């Protein structure tokens, strides 16, 4: 790591901070990374590997006493700062560090700085002998001339097992771009405490299979990378409805015409007057969808339009690659949902869902009854509340904290709005007071969800309840209020 040795030796503290944390000299605070998914604790043995000037000491210090390691030149500069006093010990000699054992090692934007893949691989093996877990935040590639993938090197070292990640692990291993990810691994060589990572996170992969969630933000980022392989197309049309979103971003990014399938079929596609100037060029038109899983939709479209077009999808299952002219990424499991079509995909048949705040507007404010007397405005709400996310396919189970005595009104509303479901599960308590006394919201819902192996995902409106359901069940939960997926690999 010659470059960082030279930076540490020859630059001022402010210049080093700028190298570590781009934007510091223009006013960006030299602040620590937020730590996710580690259980609150203050008595762990913690290692900051590649500590730099110690910007993460105080954050990771919340989990226990911190030892720090970096290159000799960087440790010398660290000792010039007040941050050095926060660490218990600082090391520049890895042979001395190897005498210690740690519950968890934090490698925050440090592994990507290696300049030799074999050196990184060996260092990962060495770390596995002293750290029970490692928490990694990294760019996809390291600083060698081949731009080797950091996570692939870790996996090839065969010293750690992946516990969880915030991005699709399979996809990240094949990247060589600026994508950053968070990964938590468990050592194969250093036994330690088992209570550091919430057990539900460790068990999701083995007990319930991989579950993939794609957000709007992630999709737009992926579309922009997808466009690098689409520069030969002359226009784009989306397969309704989800494909239209993909096509619109492609058209905007490449500055090419956005067409409709109806217009292509009947010859009425035209560019609206007053839109910005666009690139008019020769080349085939791309017909695109968000995903290709079974391939049935794409097959139907091909039957109509024939071989004069290119056909593509942003994401696809591996078995559909041969049926597409263009695709961006392979989804490793059919068990997935997207932010733009939750409650409107076939996963609904395996879903449990809250009622208020998901299928219909929520009752907000005062309890629905007091002293056994039901509020008149609550009865009006039950009859007239507005729909929100009406499912396209039959729901497996609707699990609602509404009291059982309101079943008739609830079933009538669902019938009125043509919501199909297998079962309506309502709160077992007689009164709102009894329900509150027994924490009959998130805890009750999680018990229903956990005991049902057919249910693959729970849709919940309220954030704290969603977190409770996820923590207690260990199964994926999607919060419709915050658009947060708990227990999913975010693609």
**All domains of the chain in start order, with CATH:** 2-197 (3.40.50.150), 216-337 (3.40.50.2020), 339-490 (3.40.50)
- Overall average pLDDT of the 285-304 stretch: 92
For residues 271 and 237, the model is more confident at 237
CA angle 182–185–186, rounded 5-degree value: 160
Instruction: Assign 334 a pLDDT band (cuts: 50, 70, 90).
Output: low
The predicted pLDDT at position 148 comes to: 95
Residue 35 is given by DSSP the state P
Instruction: Assign 392 a pLDDT band (cuts: 50, 70, 90).
Output: confident
CB atoms within 10 A of CB 61: 18
- Indicate if the pLDDT at residue 302 is higher than 60: yes
- Overall average pLDDT of the 257-266 stretch: 87
- Assess contact for 102 and 196: CB atoms under 8 A: no
The predicted pLDDT at position 195 comes to: 57
The predicted pLDDT at position 482 comes to: 82
The predicted pLDDT at position 358 comes to: 95
For residues 90 and 370, the model is more confident at 90
Tens of pLDDT, residue by residue over 65-74, are: 999 999 999 9
Listed in order, strand segments (DSSP E) in 50-188 are: 64-69, 89-91, 102-108, 131-139, 160-165, 180-187
- Assess contact for 362 and 482: CB atoms under 8 A: no
Q: What is the pTM of this model?
A: 0.52
- Indicate if the pLDDT at residue 285 is higher than 50: yes
The beta-carbon contacts of 168-175 under 8 Å, at least 24 apart in sequence, are: 168/212, 168/329, 168/331, 168/332, 168/489, 168/490, 168/491, 169/489, 170/330, 170/332, 171/329, 171/330, 171/332, 171/491, 172/140, 173/149, 174/149, 175/140, 175/141, 175/149
Rounded to the nearest integer, the mean pLDDT of the chain is: 85
The predicted pLDDT at position 132 comes to: 93
Tens of pLDDT, residue by residue over 206-248, are: 233 456 778 888 888 889 888 988 989 999 999 998 899 999 9
Q: Dihedral angle at the C-alpha atoms of 472, 46, 159, 120, nearest 10 degrees?
A: 130
The predicted pLDDT at position 324 comes to: 93
Q: Is the peptide bond before 241 cis (omega within 30 degrees of 0)?
A: yes
The predicted pLDDT at position 83 comes to: 83
Tens of pLDDT, residue by residue over 350-390, are: 899 999 999 999 987 677 887 778 888 899 999 999 999 99
- Overall average pLDDT of the 381-407 stretch: 93
Tens of pLDDT, residue by residue over 309-327, are: 999 999 888 888 899 999 8
């Amino acid at each position: 790591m010659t470059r960082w040795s030279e930076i540490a030796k020859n630059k001022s503290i402010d210049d080093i901070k700028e190298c570590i944390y781009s934007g510091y000299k223009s006013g960006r605070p030299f602040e620590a990374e937020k730590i996710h998914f580690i259980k609150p604790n203050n008595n762990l043995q913690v290692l900051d590997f590649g500590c730099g000037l110690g910007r993460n000491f105080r954050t990771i210090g919340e989990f226990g006493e911190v030892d720090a390691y970096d290159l000799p030149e960087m440790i010398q500069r660290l000792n010039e700062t007040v941050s050095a006093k926060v660490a218990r010990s600082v090391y520049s000699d890895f042979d001395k560090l190897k005498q210690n054992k740690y519950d968890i090692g934090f490698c925050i934007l440090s592994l990507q700085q290696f300049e030799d893949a074999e050196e990184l691989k060996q260092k990962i093996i060495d770390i596995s002998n002293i750290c029970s877990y490692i928490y990694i935040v990294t760019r996809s590639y390291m600083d060698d001339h081949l731009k080797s993938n950091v996570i692939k090197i870790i996996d090839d070292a065969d010293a750690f097992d992946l516990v969880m990640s915030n991005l699709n692990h399979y996809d990240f291993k094949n990247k060589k771009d600026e994508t950053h990810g968070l990964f938590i691994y468990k050592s194969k060589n250093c036994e330690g405490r088992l209570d550091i990572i919430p057990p539900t996170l460790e068990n999701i992969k083995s007990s319930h299979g991989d579950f993939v969630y794609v957000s709007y933000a992630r999709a737009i980022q992926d579309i922009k990378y997808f466009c690098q392989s689409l520069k030969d197309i002359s226009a784009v049309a989306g397969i309704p409805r989800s494909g239209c979103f993909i096509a619109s971003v492609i058209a905007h990014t490449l500055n090419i015409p956005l067409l409709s399938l109806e217009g292509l079929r009947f010859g009425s596609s035209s560019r609206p007057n007053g839109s910005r100037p666009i690139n008019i060029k020769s080349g085939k038109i791309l017909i695109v969808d968000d995903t290709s899983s079974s391939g049935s939709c794409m097959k139907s479209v091909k039957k109509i339009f024939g071989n004069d077009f290119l056909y593509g999808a942003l994401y696809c299952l591996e078995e559909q690659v041969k049926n597409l002219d263009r695709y961006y990424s392979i989804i490793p499991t059919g068990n997935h949902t997207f932010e733009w079509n939750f409650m409107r995909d076939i996963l609904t048949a395996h879903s449990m869902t809250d009622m208020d705040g998901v299928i219909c507007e929520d009752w907000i404010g005062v309890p629905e009854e007091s002293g056994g007397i039901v509020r008149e405005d609550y009865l009006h709400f039950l009859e007239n509340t507005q729909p929100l996310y009406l499912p396209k396919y039959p729901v497996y189970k609707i699990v609602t904290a509404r009291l059982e005595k309101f079943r008739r009104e609830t079933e009538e509303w669902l019938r009125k709005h043509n919501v199909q479901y297998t079962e309506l599960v309502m709160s077992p308590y007689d009164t709102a007071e009894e329900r509150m006394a027994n924490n009959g919201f998130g805890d009750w819902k999680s018990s229903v969800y956990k005991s049902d192996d057919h249910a693959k995902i729970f849709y919940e409106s309220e954030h704290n309840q969603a977190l409770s359901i996820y923590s207690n069940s260990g199964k994926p939960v999607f919060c419709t209020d915050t658009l947060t997926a708990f227990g999913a690999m975010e693609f």
